[in-house]
């Protein structure tokens, strides 16, 4: 076999792994070496030390390039698990199963030909999250099974231990869930219970934001708790859309009908007691707007989707679009705290009615689940009316 010569790109990536990740020689060697590509570990050490003029002249890859390399390498690690190259422990097997179920749920949800895609997603998502949290507990040496007062396992079906269901899992402190993640899963479980036996309505348009948050939360949890090989964010892409992506498009199809009864019941049960911060938490419900893009850059003209780094102006724009919302009682309290005189429920209502501030075209308030919420701009406008001379 002829001696292997590393390319300039490979050398740059090796130097990037060392510079940005602090990887040792053995870790770097594991990434760039396999059966038909035998790299001597001394070569990695030479690159690290700059032992050759060629190596010194090549710049280290950027942090972004290193992250892209590690993402693709994580797919090899995941495939090696599933092909049986090494024996998997029970926790890894459980996480792989959870990820496969969630990927199936997303694939079904993305199929607009399926009318019950939201119901199917929710049922599968409950199973996927249950498996994932069970794996998380087992990793912490917590056995997620019910026990009798004497410490023995509760048995079902004769001799099988009864595992914690998702509703019980999310209330355990070892679950390590954010408040938004917990609220989102409570919502998903409640909708599952409603649609399981009692729903014949189309709920697709009514649960979109919650379903999106469920999938994003699952992806983040799997990646952070179990490693990058369980990151499937690039495996599921945008599908071809045969209808323009506009804010009016879903409404023109669905029409002005009411929220499905099963969803309205869950909204009333879970969202009415929520604080505005809980309601607006993107871990609870993830909402974005899609706007057309015209590009003057020929290299980007054929891209359907543009990705921007965290902290970019695009991210700030999304945060601005997804504005905080406040119930009337919360809005009145804000005005009282700001020192607006004579603020009552009556004067508040009289102010918005007189200026017709609930007109959707004005963008001061929005109705969600048969309940009105005020944006800060609407509260400011009411303040101006109440304090006018």
Residues 51 and 105 in one domain: no
Q: Is 218 part of a structural domain of the chain?
A: yes
Residues 348 and 368 in one domain: yes
Task: Give the total number of structural domains in the chain.
Answer: 3
Confidence at 324, pLDDT banded by 50, 70, 90: confident
Residues 117 and 224 in one domain: yes
Residues 105 and 144 in one domain: yes
Residues 252 and 131 in one domain: yes
pLDDT value of position 258: 66
**368 DSSP β-pair partners:** 371
Q: Is 184 part of a structural domain of the chain?
A: yes
Average pLDDT, the chain: 82
Residues 228 and 148 in one domain: yes
Taking only the tens place, the pLDDT of each residue in 226-270 is: 988 888 877 765 555 554 444 444 444 444 456 777 788 788 788
Residues 6+ apart with CB under 8 A from 115: 202, 204
Contact 125, 217 (CB under 8 A): no
Q: Is 236 part of a structural domain of the chain?
A: yes
CA distance to 30, 32, 55, 100, 334, per residue, from 25 (Å): 9, 11, 15, 33, 58
Residue 349, pLDDT > 50, answer yes
pLDDT value of position 24: 92
Q: Is 223 part of a structural domain of the chain?
A: yes
Q: Is 77 part of a structural domain of the chain?
A: yes
Helix axes 179-197, 208-226, angle to 10 degrees: 130
Q: Which of 250, 279, 308 is the last residue of a domain?
A: 279
Q: Is 300 part of a structural domain of the chain?
A: no
Q: Which of 226, 254, 279 is the last residue of a domain?
A: 279
Confidence at 288, pLDDT banded by 50, 70, 90: low
Q: Is 313 part of a structural domain of the chain?
A: no
371-374 and 365-368 as β-strands: parallel, antiparallel, unpaired? Answer: antiparallel
26: containing domain = 8-83
């Amino acid at each position: 076999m002829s001696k292997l010569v590393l390319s300039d790109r490979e050398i740059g990536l090796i130097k990037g792994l060392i510079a940005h990740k602090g990887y040792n020689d053995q870790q770097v060697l594991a990434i760039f070496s396999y059966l038909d590509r035998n790299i001597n570990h001394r070569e990695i050490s030479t690159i690290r030390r700059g032992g050759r003029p060629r190596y010194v002249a090549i710049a280290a890859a950027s942090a972004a390039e290193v992250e892209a390399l590690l993402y693709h390498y994580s797919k090899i690690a995941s495939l090696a698990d599933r092909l049986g190259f090494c024996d998997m422990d029970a926790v890894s097997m459980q996480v792989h199963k959870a990820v496969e179920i969630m990927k199936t749920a997303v694939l079904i949800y993305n199929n607009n030909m399926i009318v019950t895609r939201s119901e199917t997603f929710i049922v599968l998502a409950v199973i996927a999250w249950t498996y994932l949290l069970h794996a998380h507990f087992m990793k912490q040496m917590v056995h997620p099974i019910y026990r009798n007062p004497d410490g023995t396992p509760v048995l079902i079906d004769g001799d099988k231990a009864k595992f914690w269901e998702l509703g019980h899992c999310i209330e355990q402190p070892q679950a390590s869930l954010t408040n938004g993640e917990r609220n989102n899963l409570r919502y998903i479980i409640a909708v599952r219970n409603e649609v399981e036996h009692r729903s014949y309505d189309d709920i697709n348009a009514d649960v979109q934001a919650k379903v999106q948050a469920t999938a994003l939360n699952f992806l983040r949890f799997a990646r952070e708790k179990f490693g990058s090989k369980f990151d499937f964010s690039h495996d599921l892409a945008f599908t071809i859309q045969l209808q323009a992506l506009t804010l009016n498009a879903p409404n023109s199809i669905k029409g002005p009908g009411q929220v499905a009864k099963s969803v309205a019941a869950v909204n009333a049960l879970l969202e009415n007691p929520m604080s505005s911060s809980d309601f607006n938490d993107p871990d609870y419900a993830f909402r974005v707007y899609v706007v057309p893009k015209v590009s003057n850059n020929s290299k980007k003209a054929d891209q359907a989707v543009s990705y921007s780094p965290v902290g970019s102006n695009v991210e700030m724009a999304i945060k601005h679009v997804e504005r905080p919302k406040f119930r009337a009682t919360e809005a009145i309290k804000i005005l009282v705290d700001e020192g607006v005189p004579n603020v009552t429920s009556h004067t508040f209502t009289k102010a918005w009615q007189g200026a017709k501030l609930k007109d959707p075209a004005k963008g001061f308030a929005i109705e969600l689940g048969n309940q009105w919420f005020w944006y800060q701009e609407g509260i400011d406008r009411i303040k101006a009316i109440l304090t006018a001379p």
